[in-house]
Structure 1
Amino acid sequence: MSDQNQTPDSTDVDTTGTTDPTQKPMLGSPVAEGETAEKDPSDWVTGDEPATGPQKSYLDTLAREAGEEIPADITKAEASEHIDRLQQKTGRGA
């Protein structure tokens, strides 16, 4: 029997929002005007988990440069929000 007639397994889930099974999600693709590729940290599924090591390390650097202190026991979402804010404050933002 040919592999073409098999039903998709969980690794073939369509995350593009389309019904076209041949449409694959692409990183780096242009985003339609008015849309954003970024998800609000408050909407993250893992946003309530503790901040990652790399987030804490980068936040430590940014906070020192900005002359601020940030609690170490923050969530991933809170860390992301602080990083965005401090990048703007320190001029490290893109």
Structure 2
Amino acid sequence: MSEPTNAIKDPADWTTGEEPATGAQESYLNTLASEAHEEVPDGLTKAEASVKIDELQEKTGRGR
């Protein structure tokens, strides 16, 4: 019996990663960017938004 894995797929490997960021991603990015006193670039893809969210969570302490 194999153990289940909780592996998280790298955003660069997402099949939908090149699609535009979702509304939820954009909303959360704007919240994080405001807290981090940063600007969010327009036109991010889903994968780029995910990477930026991770970066800003780390910077704001929300990723803990």
2:40 to 70, 77, 92: 70
Q: RCO greater where, 1 or 2, for CA within 8 Å and sep 6 or more?
A: 2
Aligned residue-pair number:
62
Rg larger for: 1
Runs of 5+ unmatched residues, structure 2: none
Runs of 5+ unmatched residues, structure 1: 1-28
CA distance in 1, matches of 2:9, 2:42: 23
Give CA deviations for 1:40-78 in whole Å, capped at 9, x if unaligned.
Answer: 000000000000000000000000100100112100000
RMSD of the TM alignment (CA)?
A: 1.5
TM-score by structure 2 length?
Answer: 0.89
TM-score by structure 1 length?
Answer: 0.62
What stretches of structure 1 move > 6 A for 4+ residues in a row? Answer: none
1:59·1:82 contact (CA, 8 Å) conserved in 2?
Answer: yes
**Percent identity, aligned pairs only?**
66
